[in-house]
Chain A
Amino acid sequence: MKRTFISGASKGIGFALARRLSDEGQNLLLQASSDEGIDRLKDQFGAKGHLFWKSDFTNPSSITNELEGLLRDFGTLDGFVHCVGIRSRRPLSLFQLEGMQAVMNANVVSFVETMRIITKRGYFNPGLSVIGISSISAHVGSPGVTAYAASKAALESSIRCLAAELFKKSIRVNGLVCGQVNTEAYHELMSSKESEADPVLQRQYMGLLEVDQIVDAICYLLGGSSSQMNGTMFPAHAGFLS
Chain B
Amino acid sequence: MNTQEIINLFEDALEIEQNSLSESTNLSDIPEYDSMAKLSLIILSDDEFGKKLSGEQIRDFKTVGDIVKFLSAD
Contact = CB atoms under 8 A, between A and B. Distances in A.
Contacts of B38: 194
A193 B55 contact: yes
A191 B58 CA distance: 11
- B36, B44, B59 pick with most chain A CB within 10 angstroms: B36
Given A194-B35, A195-B35, A91 B40 contact: yes
B39 A89 contact: yes
A94 B36 CA distance: 11
Contact of A194 (B13, B52, B59): B59
Contact of A192 (B35, B54, B59): B54
Contact of A94 (B35, B47, B54): B47
B55 A91 contact: no
Contacts of B29: none
A217 interface: no
Contacts of B53: 192
A30 B5 CA distance: 47
A166 interface: no
A7 to B, nearest CB: 26
Interface string B20-45: 00000000000000011011101110
Contacts of B40: 91, 93-94
B74 interface: no
Given A91-B36, A94-B47, A143-B36, A192 B15 contact: no
Interface of B: 13, 15, 35-36, 38-40, 42-44, 47, 52-56, 58-59
When A and B form their complex, which 4 residue pairs have the shortest distance between CB atoms, in order from nearest? A194-B38, A193-B55, A194-B58, A94-B43
